[in-house]
Structures are given as C-alpha cells and as structure tokens.
Amino acid sequence: MLVMGLDTSDAPILSERSCQGKRKGHRRSGTRVTDSKVHRPASQRHRTRSKRVIPNRYSIFRLSLINFLSLLLLVWLPGALGQETTPSSASSSSTISTLALSRSTTLTSSGTSSASTSSATSARVLSLNNLPTTLSLPPVNSTSPLLQLSFPSTASLVLTFSICSLSSNTSLLPTILVSTAGTDPPTFDLGTRSISDSASGGVRGSSQGYNRRSGRSGTTWSVSWDKGFGNWTWTGTGETEVDVLIGLGLGTDGTTMAPLDLTGGVVIQLGASSRSSIHSLTASMPLLGDTLSTQALIFSPLLYSSPQSQPSYPNYTLPSSQLVFPDFDSQSTTINTTLSTNLTLILVPTTSSPTNDGLDNSLCAVTNAAASTGQVASEENMIFQTSEMRWTSMGREEGFRRYWVVGGLVAEGNYTAWIRDNQGVLSRPIWFATKDESFPCQLVLPTTLCPSIAYAAPLPVNSTPATSPSGAILSNNSPIQVLPDDLTDLLTTNLEAFSTSLLSQACGRDLYSHVSSCMDCFTTYRSWLCRIVIPQCGPTNTSLSASSSSSTSSSTTSTSAETYPSPSTIHRSWSNSRNPEQLAPEYEFEELLPCLATCNEVDRTCPVNMGFRCPRRGVNAARSYAFKGTNNKFGNGGGGAQGWEGADRWGRRWCNG
C-alpha cells in the first residue's frame, strides 16, 4: 500500500482512528409540503377587512410585561445553565473513564453526568507487518495514555518490553494487556479470577512474578514487569491475530482508566519475533575482583563450567604447583549461562544509574545511561581485557570467564556494572565503590600458581604504563600478571611439599574419605596458601565498603549495612607483617583478613594426621582471620548456612575469601 508516495507494506503504520460510530442522520420523509389558500366568501372577507380592533390599556400593559419577562429570561437562562453544568463537567473529568474498543480503534472517554459532553481519548494503533522487529514505541503520557499494537495472524509470537524512560511519576508503570481472541473489536478483560501463567513469561521470584491469564483457556494476559523488563510468549494450535493494549492508568479489565497527574511520558522498547526472544535476561551477574582508586577488575559470570578432573587409583596424581590452564572446548565443558561469549561490559555512575528508578533489567535504559555518562567502559578506558575466555577459579567456581580492568574511574566513586552479549541478553547488575586516592596497593590478576587470586595486594608496583588503544596513558602502573620471583619460589616450595605428603595418604580409595578427596584437599590448600602469602588490601576508609550500596536499586532488597559485617582489617607495616619470617611489605597498608572459612575448608577436606589445624575463636583466631560471633559453624565467611559470604553484589567485602 502506498501512502503519500511511501511504500508502507513492510513498515509499521501509525494511525489515529476513532471508535465512535457515525451518528445516524434523521432522514426527511420526502413529503412535499405546499401552502394552500383558504377561500372565504366575499362578504366575510369584506367584514374582516373592515373590522377594527381597538385594544384597551390593560391589554397593552400585559403585552409589554410579557415581552419584558421573555427578554429577561433570555438574558438570565444561559448564565444559570452554565452555573449548573460547570460542577458536572469538573466532576466528570476526575471520575474513572470508560473505554470502548474496536479494531480500527480509538478509545472513548465519557463522563458520568448527562449534562457534560463526551470526549474521545484516541488510542493510536501501530500495525506491525514485519517480524522480527525491534523499535522504540511512541511514548504514552497524560495526553496520549493509550497505544494499541496489531500483529498479523501468526501461530507463535514472542514479545519483549523494556522501559527506556519513565514519566515524572516513576512509580506508575504501564499496564500491558495481550489478546488472542481475534475478535472485532478485540477484548482485553483479564477478569477477576486470573491465574499465574509461567508458560507465557514473567520472572520467577520477582515482585510481580509470572504473567497473569484470564483462566486456563483464557485469551487475555497481563504482562508482569520485573525491574523494567517484561516478556510474553505464545504458541497456538493455529494462526490468529494478536492485539496488545498498553496504557498508563489502564485497568486490567481493559476498559477503565484512572486519572493521570504527571509530566513526561513512558517510552518502551519492543522486541517482536515469531521464533525466539530478541531480548532476554540471565540470572547470572558480573563478579567484582577488586578496585583501586581509579581502576576496577571485573569478571563476567561463569560462562562454561570446567572443574578440574579427579584423578583415580592406582595412578593417582595431583596437579603441579604451576597449573596448566585448559583451552576452551565447548564439547568438554558445561554451559552455565544464557550469555554468549561475545560480551560487552557496561559501567554507569550509580548516581545516573537506571537502577535508581527501578529499571535494573531494561537493556535500553542501561545503554541510554551508559551513552549519556560518557561510556565509562569504552575501549579507550580499558587497561586490560581478555580477548577470549580464560579458565579461572573464582567464587568457588572453576571454569571459563572473561574479565576486564577498567581505568579512568573517579576515586571514591560509586558505579553500577552489567554484562551484555551480542544476542540481546542482559545480566543482573552489581555495584561497587573505588578506593580513596591514597590507596597504595596493586591489582593482581589470576595466575597459574594462584588462579583464585584477583584483588589488590601489597606487591611491588608494576611500573609499565597502561595505555589506551589510541596511545593515551591511562595509568602509570599496570595490573600484575606475573608474581614476583620470591613469591613464586615460596608458593612453589610449599605446594610441592604438601603434595608429596598428601600422596602418602590413601588417595583415591574409600579409606581416605567418602565425602572428599586428595584433590579437594590440595585445591583448598592452594587457595588458603595463596591468600596467606598474598594478602588482600582492605579500604583505608572502611565506610567506603558500604557506600556503594547507598544508591542501589529502589526495587532491590539487600542486607542492610547494620547487619552486614564491616570489613575486618589490621594495619600492616614492615614491623607488623603477617609473616615476619617470610616477606615484609614494601609499604604500609590495611590487610583485609582471610575468612576463617578458607582455613576451615582445608581442615575439613584434608586428613587429620597431616596436622593442619585452624586457630580457635575466643583464643587466637582474631589475630589472623575474620569471623563473626562465637558459633563455630556460623559467621566464618563461607556463605549459606555458614553466614555471610566474604563479599556481596553491592560491593561490600568484609573478609578475604
């Protein structure tokens, strides 16, 4: 179809239509009416002409009075009627309006008073002829609160909705109703006995949960929002037309609207496909390594799980002190997320983050915020990034991730981070805070000796400047990718000695243990040893550990700062080293003590006769480990039943583990 010279057959058509039927005109009867003269006798006509009527004075006065009163009534009546109808008009504008739908639709808004005049609230109709498609819909606001989407007949449809921006009333979210009734006009009544419909979409565990449906065989759905994201999936037995009604203040019956008092409008990005979702969420999140004053080390979620293989008896061997990281092979690994391997890191200053408006899961809101704040995680600010997936042992998970070191950040700044891929999948956000300008330590990246170490440590400065792709110097120092020789020798010697002692046990046999293995023992010992030899630097200002959560999502619940433990730190100097007989630090720093759980795990997985023992609470544990309370099974940083994790998604970290 050509409209104004444009071929619109494959393009969305936005039109204004009215549901008000044409008023039926009153057809005239067609009877021709003519004037006829009445003939009277001549004598009668003569008498009529010759008769003179002389009015008396009373008749003249009565006629004048009637004329005066009629004139007064004509002047007074319009004002009186205006005074009577004004309250009715005002009241009708504040009452709930009734909407009438048709396929060529506009929605009619009428008042409750018969004296008031009905007004039409036009529902714009957007016809989507081509799938798949992604587009930003026209805003819904107080002037145009309604928008109807019309899809061609289809046997399956996948819709995603992302709120890009909100009106001045940020708590008012649009209502989205979907109908597969295929009627003219379409019906959007969810009814009073709707049921939860997980098959059609929604997010489990979110505030609104799954979508609602008007009964088991109902043809109307209400889309549930989860922090700015909604989705709807449908597969039918045959082709049918699908209609969507979006409205601000719209009731779930599809016919009532609440009055609106707001400025601005809500912009929604639509993704529509007949095959698969164009946009989606993953429950996984980025993982914060650590921060400096102007740098941050951030890992992707675990993409592919690849735990170290367990050796078997009689050829039971343990890994060497220097691990050999496996190459990625999708055939020998287990996918752990819906994210692809083509990833992009997004950073936004938390003060400008869409999480402040509860739009944590909206891809368009996140990308818009990143663009408006200068693309903090752009290529120009990347000090280091892995070009491909690398094997790590982070967060008690072994497998393949990608990671980045971002520079150019603001000291003592709060940031929100997401990961997105090239398939439209968005991760959940995390929050973190950078250290103050006096923070002295260096970022250490995972190594073959210590694959679980990825934090700031008091190691000698790597004086190699970090530059951007354009050659600009981002930092005078670069992250440490290779440990100093003295640390390497110390770690290697201890790991080899421990491995020799461990292999003298009944490794690979039931005599050793039914719940753990020599491999488990060696792995936990490596993690414990690395955290003892390479201490983690804590914040010099402990209030920063909780500040990153001060501006988090209004729709996200976190453990409050009052209950979450504060960082357990000890001031270290040359004369107060953790390991005086080994290596003294080159500068003073605050050590974030290892979680007591890192020691307990070695004690639990290794043979008793190897003599590995952890310090006890109430005796000497507080001198070298972080824990909370007196319960030996709780508050050791192990997470789960053992209490708080050493770190959380809000950037707070109270122990090294």
Q: What is the pLDDT of residue 425?
A: 96
CA distances from 507 to 211, 309, 514 (A): 52, 14, 11
pLDDT digits (tens, 9 = 90+) for 547-587: 444 444 544 445 444 588 899 999 998 888 877 666 677 88
CA distances from 592 to 35, 49, 240 (A): 111, 125, 62
Helix (H) or strand (E) holding 179: strand 175-179
Do 576 and 593 fall within a single domain? Answer: yes
Do 221 and 305 fall within a single domain? Answer: no
pLDDT digits (tens, 9 = 90+) for 171-196: 999 999 999 998 888 999 999 999 99
| CA-based nearest residue to 557, from 372, 298, 358 | 358
Whether residue 24 lies inside any domain: the answer is no
Q: Is the pLDDT of residue 51 over 80?
A: no
Reading across the β-sheet that carries 569-572, which strands appear in turn?
A: 536-537, 589-592, 569-572
Residue 129 CA to residue 542 CA, distance in Å, equals 57
Residue 232 CA to residue 218 CA, distance in Å, equals 15
Do 263 and 293 fall within a single domain? Answer: no
Q: What is the mean pLDDT of residues 94-122?
A: 42
* Residue 456, C-beta contacts closer than 8 angstroms, at least 6 positions apart: 290, 291, 292, 435, 439, 441, 442, 443, 444, 536, 537
Do 263 and 156 fall within a single domain? Answer: yes
Q: How many domains does the chain have?
A: 2
Q: Is the pLDDT of residue 271 over 90?
A: yes
Contact 534, 480 (CB under 8 A): no
pLDDT digits (tens, 9 = 90+) for 207-242: 778 999 999 999 999 999 999 999 999 998 889 999
Q: What is the mean pLDDT of residues 162-176?
A: 97
Domain end call among 229, 249, 280: 280
pTM equals 0.80
pLDDT digits (tens, 9 = 90+) for 504-524: 999 988 778 888 999 999 999
Whether residue 78 lies inside any domain: the answer is no
The residue with greater pLDDT, 16 or 603, is 603
Q: What is the mean pLDDT of residues 114-138?
A: 75
Contact 281, 428 (CB under 8 A): yes
Domain end call among 234, 253, 280: 280
Q: What is the mean pLDDT of residues 303-323?
A: 92
Do 123 and 216 fall within a single domain? Answer: yes
Q: Bridge-partner residues for 393, per DSSP?
A: 398
Do 365 and 233 fall within a single domain? Answer: no
Structure tokens at 522: 């060696």
State the residue range of the domain holding 251: 119-280
